Structure 1
Amino acid sequence: MYCFMSTIDPGPPPQLIQLILSYLKDGQSTTEFDLRVMPLAQDGSTRRYFRVYSTNKDSFIAVDAHKTGGDPKTLSAPNQNQTFHYLACHLLERGFPVPRILQHSSDFNFYLLCDLGEVTLCSKVLENGHKNKKSTLELYQKALDLLFKLQTEALINFEHSWCYAGSVYDRNLILENELNYFLKAFVKGYLKLTVSPKSESRLQAEFQSLADEALLAPGDFFLYRDFQSKNLMLKDKMLYLIDFQGARSGPFYYDLASLLNDPYTQLLQTQREQLLSYYYKQLCNRYPKSAPDNDTFTFFFHLYSLVRTLQTLGAFAFLTRQGRKHFQSYMAPALENFHHYLARLSSSLKLDTLVELSHRLYEQNLNVKKRSP
């Protein structure tokens, strides 16, 4: 018996239902079983997730990813779904905690994953609250341990040809997918602010300068690109990695900045500093001769924190205008991060136009929580 537990969601497509049934029937002497399928929240993805319960197997996750896929036979490069599959297999082989792929369609547009539950690092930290500082720090230290291991070991036997959206963190990605994404999607698209041609020209020069500085950091590490609290599942006191299909090689600062400046959990500044020190000690222990000095480490952390924050604001603006309005609530803490890191960089880098723009946002007292997309 098949039962879909929602009156709002249209339910899984026929291709996914067939994949589910095929998996449940595999190795079974009977083809009769109760089946319940429940839709899960999409959050920022176009993929649709369903939790499947049956009488003959443990619960698992069914994924409709046809919007991020395509026909592999007509593509010269891997699509997002294929990249996810390649990386999941690679990371699992290297001993990293990722959801096991139980079955997938031939075109990778539909697949089944083992069920990691519903608890993320984000939900656990918010449940603990800032009063339970010890528990929060311990969870984040565990996340930093996993991140450091990932950054320093996951490139072993890594094939850059697996990457669907670029194999390295390069200038074009910084300029177009981080800095100008903020300008186009957040400043112009969401806030509807006008930027004069003269100011935009100066802003582009400053973006070029930021990219130049960012590329001075060593780039031979595994870069997850979205290592944040909602992409870390917590099951049986162990953290698991999800949504890693944007991975490539790049500087270790980016993912470190992503995690510690995460607007979803809004760590206190004192907590960030403690965790940053914790990570830096690991770095110095691993690379005693080549680790950057503390000033260099801090500078690049501030730089990548600014770059990542601008990308985050662009993403929140884009998703909000796509109808996912809950992302508006995260814009205010992201803007606080923007002002915080810009202030720390403006004395060593010439970012006058970006500072002027930050003043416009502050002086106009833009309440991003109440704006309409």
Structure 2
Amino acid sequence: MLPEHEALLILTREQFPELNSTPCEVEVILKGASDRHFYRLKWQDGREPMVLMVYTLARRDNPKFVPATHRLEKMGAHVPHVLAFDERRLCVWLEDLGRVDLQSLNHQPWSKRAPLYEATLREAAKFHGVEEKSLTPADLDELEPAFDEALYEWEQNYFLDHFVGGHLGREFTHAEYQAAHETLKQLRRRLAKLPRCLVHRDFQSQNVLIRGEEAWLVDYQGLRLGRAEYDLGSLLYDPYVNLSRTERSELLRYYAAHRGLDLNELREVFYLCAAQRLMQALGAYANLSRNLGKPHYIQHIPAAVANLAEVCREGQGLHDLRAFFEGGF
């Protein structure tokens, strides 16, 4: 066993003394672009495995995971139960939710996937129903900074700097992009004026684990105030999976009916938020692949561009954004 894994087992047995004499296999879980490390601890006495998350303080949202877990649990949302927490050593022991995420089912027929997406939307509705006015200052301190015009602008600049400038090599400050920049400004101002609720912030298929017919959420440490449609855009226009226009419409209709919302009003803001989210994702893929030593993220750029092009066709007032990316990627 690797020395690192031996050390992790020593820490684990400090938290769970009853496991001192139980043999254990440590499996590394490779997950996403996070700076956190995950390990599956498989006990050889038939006991249920657990997941150990080891995080750093490099990202301000990492310490928010445990408070976010407790908050979501109280709402009845499906999240992994915290078995133990060592704040000093930056370790969290979690219920093991298994290996099957929504992305891994991408090649299943829609008749199998649709109920799982509906289950996922029902989970989102549990915290989307929490409005800003219901939260106290103490609640807000536990959350990440809310979506406002400044955060929307930061995401847009991330897209411009890393994808449009860095990946495509375009001089996006030139006069030919003036209309596109005006569209960005109007987009962030419009979204910032809308009422806010609790949102996941990274609500995509890799962050939804499936157990039976139920959906369970992970990677929600970015929980904050924002628009529910931002999460919907993250899930329904996720570049990691294939959803048809008809399937997206079906799921959006399901969500509106589940929450008792006006479908047309929901759809209008949905496209605005989907454009915002896809720009953020393209900035991330470009930055991860070009600057952070993770070149495999480049494979997701074509799908994200195709999704953004569709959103710009479907949404109101988004057409001019196409100038930033059309003509190749």
Letter in 2 for 1:355: R
Unaligned runs of 5+ in 2: none
Moved more, 271-280 or 190-199: 190-199
Q: Percent of pairs identical after alignment?
A: 25
- Name the residue aligned to 2:11: 19
- Map 1:43-192 → 2, pairs under 5 A: 43-56=32-45, 57-68=47-58, 79-107=60-88, 109-124=90-105, 126-128=106-108, 132-153=109-130, 159-163=139-143, 165-166=144-145, 168-176=146-154, 178-192=155-169
Instruction: Kindly indicate whether residue 325 of structure 2 is the aligned counterpart of residue 358 of structure 1.
Output: yes
Letter in 2 for 1:59: P
1:108 and 1:261, CA in 2 relative to 1: closer, same or farther beyond 3 A?
A: farther
Instruction: Kindly indicate whether residue 278 of structure 2 is the aligned counterpart of residue 309 of structure 1.
Output: yes
What is the CA deviation profile of residues 324-354 of structure 1, one whole-angstrom value per residue up to 9, with x for unaligned ones? Answer: 2222221111101111111233xx42763x3
Larger Rg: 1
Letter in 1 for 2:142: W
Write the distance in 2 (CA, Å) between the matches of 1:245 and 1:335: 27
Write the distance in 2 (CA, Å) between the matches of 1:230 and 1:134: 20
Kept in 2: contact 1:47–1:68 (CA 8 A): no
Q: How many matched pairs?
A: 324
- Given candidates 325, 329, 334, the residue that maps to 2:304 is 334
Kept in 2: contact 1:41–1:49 (CA 8 A): yes
Moved more, 178-187 or 204-213: 204-213
Please tell me the root mean square deviation across aligned C-alpha atoms, in Å.
2.4
- Given candidates 250, 258, 261, the residue that maps to 1:274 is 250
Write the distance in 2 (CA, Å) between the matches of 1:33 and 1:127: 39
Structure 1 moving runs of 4+ over 3 Å = 10-14, 153-158, 196-205
1:295 and 1:58, CA in 2 relative to 1: closer, same or farther beyond 3 A?
A: closer
Write the distance in 1 (CA, Å) between the matches of 2:76 and 2:104: 25
Q: SS of the residue aligned with 1:66?
A: coil
1:106 and 1:144, CA in 2 relative to 1: closer, same or farther beyond 3 A?
A: closer
What is the CA deviation profile of residues 286-335 of structure 1, one whole-angstrom value per residue up to 9, with x for unaligned ones? Answer: xxxxx44x443322111111111111111111221212222222111110
Q: SS of the residue aligned with 1:234?
A: strand
Q: CA deviation at 1:136?
A: 1.5
- Name the residue aligned to 2:25: 36
Q: SS of the residue aligned with 1:32?
A: coil
TM superposition score normalised by structure 1: 0.80
Kept in 2: contact 1:122–1:264 (CA 8 A): yes
TM superposition score normalised by structure 2: 0.90
Unaligned runs of 5+ in 1: 5-9, 70-78, 286-290, 367-373
Kept in 2: contact 1:63–1:111 (CA 8 A): yes
